[in-house]
Amino acid sequence: MANLTDLGVADIRDGFRKGDFSARDVAEAFNAAVVEARPLNAFIVETPEKALAAADTADAARAAGALKPLSGVPIGMKDLFCTEGVQTTAASHILEGFVPTYESTVSAKLWDAGAGMLGKLNLDQFAMGSSNETSYFGNVISPWKGADGRDLTPGGSSGGSSAAIAARIVPAATGTDTGGSIRQPASFTGISGIKPTYGRCSRWGVVAFASSLDQPGAMARSVRDNAILLEAMAGFDAKDSTSLDLPVPQWEAGLSSDLRGKRVGIPKEYRPDGLNPEIAALWEQGIAWLKDAGAEVVEVSLPHTKYALPTYYIIAPAEASSNLARYDGVRYGLRDLPDGAGLQDMYAATRAAGFGDEVKRRIMIGTYVLSAGYYDAYYTQACKVRTLISRDFDAAFAACDLLLTPTAPSAAFALGEKQDDPLAMYLNDVFTVPASLAGLPAMSVPGGLDSSGLPLGLQIIGRALDEQGVLNAALALEQRAGFVARPEKWW
């Protein structure tokens, strides 16, 4: 039998049903892998007992003939999702020790579907970052190594999720995507990840960063595994005012790599001056693969793309500044109360000690653009440009069904390489942010390796609610790329 930790979601689900192994066998194998991989720092909290309890329930359910969709499948949970009775920190000191008394809607749906939890995965603090270097609990280290042996970023903010999947210590994991935080880490570590349409998955119980952008999604090693996980995660939730009251399609059953009759748009604005030639070559290869799958390829224009990053870095920090005002040391989490301090002193001391530098930077930017005298000049203008960006996509989709772009402007870079240059770091999201601003479904799949042997991803963007189209095009790319590369084990 293959090593159980080499199996993905579908393989575990199906093998367990056939009786090839027990759910407890699977949970014990992954629990051992999690312990062995601690040098990656992918987990903030390990929950082996939760994985075993779910496995025992699954084994009993199999014996009783009462299996659930994810019975026997253990997963990792990004530490942005509140988990009842298990510490939830958003990778911030200000929430260290916070143990929710409730379960997020997405995690509750996954447990109800039979999944088990291997632990809470590390991330950039409050999901603010593109390299997983802003966590209070330390950097996540990619299982991939640079040609010179340097430690690499697994991407961010869902870097713990991407590293754990690539290292085969979880078969799949949840992620959240505000401006690319599922897709960019997926590209950097050679896995797949999908951000669904805004509102497909409930945000209730997810620690908020930017409420009009945040969207939970799935991360796994294959397109099929993503479809399975997303099906279990999605659905209407009355507790989330932005949740879409729509039935959840059967995405796995609808998977097809036959793209005949589909038109795929190539946005000309996604070819900036100085585009990495290896990224450009992979993009051309992706175009050829989609043509081979039967798609017609057309050039389209998204003229306001050049304004997407500045628009995002006004709207997202503005919403963050509002959302993070709740962390004041009064009700939960960290409280720093200097001797003789008043209420305002406590607020200031708690936030100074509890928030990291990147979080403080974004709060200050957000507070500035929302302040009197600047609100209309910055925030209102950014909202107007966001509407123009969304209209660009509407116009493009009048001429095509899907869009193909690179996922990230480079392969994974070394830890520390861009930490002192926030602008260089923000540019990592240049290809992912536009779809986030428009609330569209988008997915990254691995397309190949660069000359240094590091993964590169391709991105499919679809119309609102067309996750099926995105998954199908991603499947066509996956089958033709035949990506089987994996990091050499060094941990």
- Which residue out of 157, 161, 257, 436 is catalytically annotated? 157
For residue 160, what are the contacts with CB-CB under 8 A and spacing of at least 6? 41, 42, 43, 44, 76, 78, 79, 121, 122, 123, 132, 140, 154, 173
Read off the DSSP letter of residue 380.
Answer: I
Exposure of 118 in the CB half-sphere (CA atoms within 13 A): 34
For residue 192, what are the contacts with CB-CB under 8 A and spacing of at least 6? 186, 219, 220, 221, 222, 223, 225, 226, 443, 444, 445, 446, 474, 478
Pairing of strands 172-177, 215-220: antiparallel
3-state helix, strand, coil in the chain (%, to 5): 40, 15, 45
Q: Are 60 and 1 in contact (CB under 8 A)?
A: no
Among 274, 177, 291, CA closest to 233: 177
Respond yes or no: is residue 418 known to be catalytic: no
- Which residue out of 50, 78, 109, 145 is catalytically annotated? 78
Distance CA 346, CA 335 (A): 7
- Which residue out of 71, 158, 181, 243 is catalytically annotated? 181
Peptide bond into 452 cis (omega under 30): no
Give me the DSSP letters along 432-449.
THHHHHHT--EEEEEEEE
Pairing of strands 263-267, 296-300: parallel
Distance CA 229, CA 234 (A): 9
Number of residues in the chain: 491
Distance CA 487, CA 491 (A): 11
Respond yes or no: is residue 157 known to be catalytic: yes
Respond yes or no: is residue 78 known to be catalytic: yes
- Element at 177 (helix H, strand E): strand 172-177
The residues annotated with a catalytic role in the active site are 78, 157, 181
